[in-house]
């Protein structure tokens, strides 16, 4: 908007300068004809006036250096014939300052000033100090003001260009950051749902294959459990494509009911999973409920695959200023003070849980000792919804 305004102002100034030049040429010609009706120079001055006015009008929009040089040359001839044309130098001065490089424009200013001063001295008939001092002083002041304004306009244009470029770079950075965040979110969604579900199916089918001949009843139970997980994964995948809430939340309507359904589904002969709600959990935003459910899914998948636990308990607690989800197991545990692996499902799962919690200002606390099980506590402040 600022650039357009500056262009519009420049055009208005150009129109004013062009109109002023043509008006001054006409006024100077009229003055000469009124004061010197029988002069032998009249035909030449009329022809010169028409030529300079026509040339100026034809090339005024183009702003070419050659055009301006021809106009100035014709004007010099007119001033030599009739000093009253000297005041046409004012619009020529501003036109030169507008379209010429600064050094060239200053040379033109000096030439115009010298011819105007000479013309005025010719009219006065003696070296008038007002002409010799006042005229150059006024020209210098006007030129300095014009140059300062032009430089200020250039600096402002540069600043505006920098601002526009910075805004574009910031927008591009935000788009990249949003893309990376979305990729991370999708990777966590896939890890906590589809990947973990496929891992559970694989373990159940492998277990069924090992006991198919010796205990077909349990093998069939494993296959049915794998089928149920596959069905749930299919529902998750369809909801995932639509970018909706987790399927358990959509079906249950509350986080507590969804966690209870998750515990019931994950409860098998190899791992007993229970859910407990401590008090009445507060109603949470959908994104927070979806995050806590994904954390529970990922944590239980880690328990089933790595902990060699017999039982796992999900506990949802509302503490007034925060909501806490605890996932406890009686498995093999690990050294919680040791650095977690940078690769592998376990390390990625805990990193994904932390990343999910950080979106809401939450924290993850891990309590574990080798041989004594593990407790994960995911806390989200209610003020960070």
Dist. CA 86–CA 76, nearest whole Å? 8
Q: What is the mean pLDDT of the chain?
A: 81
pLDDT score of 385 more than 60: no
Distances (CA, A) of 222 to 204, 230, 263, 309: 5, 12, 17, 18
Point out the least confidently predicted range of 97-111, 227-241, 262-276: 227-241
pLDDT score, position 26:
92
Report the percentage of the chain scoring pLDDT > 90.
13
What per-residue string of b and e applies to 283-315 under the rule 16 or more CB within 10 Å gives b? Answer: ebeeebbbbbbbbbbbbbbbbbbbbebeebbbb
pLDDT score of 309 more than 60: yes
User: What is the pTM (predicted TM-score) of this model?
Assistant: 0.43
Indicate the SS3 state at residue 294: helix
pLDDT score of 359 more than 90: no
Dist. CA 171–CA 241, nearest whole Å? 27
Given a contact cutoff of 8 angstroms between Cβ atoms, the answer to whether 266 and 273 are in contact is yes
Sorted by where each begins, the domain ranges of the chain are 2-127, 174-384
Dist. CA 222–CA 228, nearest whole Å? 10
Dist. CA 164–CA 354, nearest whole Å? 37
pLDDT digits (tens, 9 = 90+) for 204-225: 888 888 888 888 888 888 888 8
Q: In what order do the strands lie in the sheet with 272-278?
A: 272-278, 311-318, 322-329, 374-381, 363-368
Classify domain 174-384 at the CATH topology level.
Heat Shock Protein 90 (3.30.565)
Phi, psi of 373 (to 5 degrees): 85, 180
pLDDT digits (tens, 9 = 90+) for 119-143: 777 776 677 777 678 778 888 888 8
pLDDT score of 86 more than 90: no
């Amino acid at each position: 908007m600022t650039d357009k305004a500056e262009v519009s102002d420049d055009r208005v100034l150009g129109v004013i300068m062009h109109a002023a030049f043509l008006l001054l040429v006409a006024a100077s010609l009229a003055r000469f004809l009124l004061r010197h009706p029988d002069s032998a120079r009249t035909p030449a001055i009329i022809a010169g006036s028409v030529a300079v006015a026509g040339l100026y009008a034809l090339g005024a929009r183009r702003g070419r250096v050659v055009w301006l040089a021809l106009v100035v040359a014709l004007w010099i001839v007119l001033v030599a014939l009739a000093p009253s044309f000297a005041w046409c130098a004012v619009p020529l001065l501003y036109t030169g300052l507008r379209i010429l490089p600064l050094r060239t424009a200053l040379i033109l200013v000096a030439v115009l000033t010298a011819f105007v001063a000479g013309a005025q001295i010719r009219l006065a008939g003696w070296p008038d100090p007002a002409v010799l001092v006042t005229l150059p002083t006024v020209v210098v002041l006007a030129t300095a003001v014009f140059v300062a304004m032009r430089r200020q306009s250039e600096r402002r244009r540069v600043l505006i260009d920098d601002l526009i470029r910075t805004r574009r770079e910031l927008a591009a950075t935000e788009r990249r950051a949003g893309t990376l965040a979305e990729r991370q979110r999708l990777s966590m969604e896939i890890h906590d749902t589809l990947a973990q579900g496929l891992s559970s199916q694989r373990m159940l089918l492998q277990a069924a294959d090992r006991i198919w001949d010796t205990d077909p009843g349990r093998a069939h139970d494993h296959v049915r459990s794998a089928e149920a997980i596959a069905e749930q994964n299919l529902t998750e995948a369809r909801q995932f494509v639509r970018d909706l809430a987790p399927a358990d939340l959509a079906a249950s309507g509350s986080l507590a009911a969804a966690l209870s359904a998750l515990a019931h589904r994950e409860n098998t002969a190899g791992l007993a999973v229970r859910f407990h709600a401590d008090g009445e959990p507060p109603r949470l935003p959908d994104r927070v409920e979806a995050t806590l459910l994904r954390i529970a899914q990922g944590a239980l998948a880690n328990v089933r695959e790595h902990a060699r636990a017999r039982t796992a308990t999900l506990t949802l607690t509302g503490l007034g200023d925060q909501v806490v989800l605890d996932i406890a197991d009686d498995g093999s545990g690990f050294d919680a003070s040791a650095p977690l692996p940078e690769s592998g499902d376990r390390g990625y799962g805990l990193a994904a849980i932390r990343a999910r919690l950080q979106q809401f200002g939450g924290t993850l606390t891990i309590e574990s000792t080798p041989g004594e099980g593990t407790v994960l506590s995911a806390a989200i402040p209610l003020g960070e919804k």
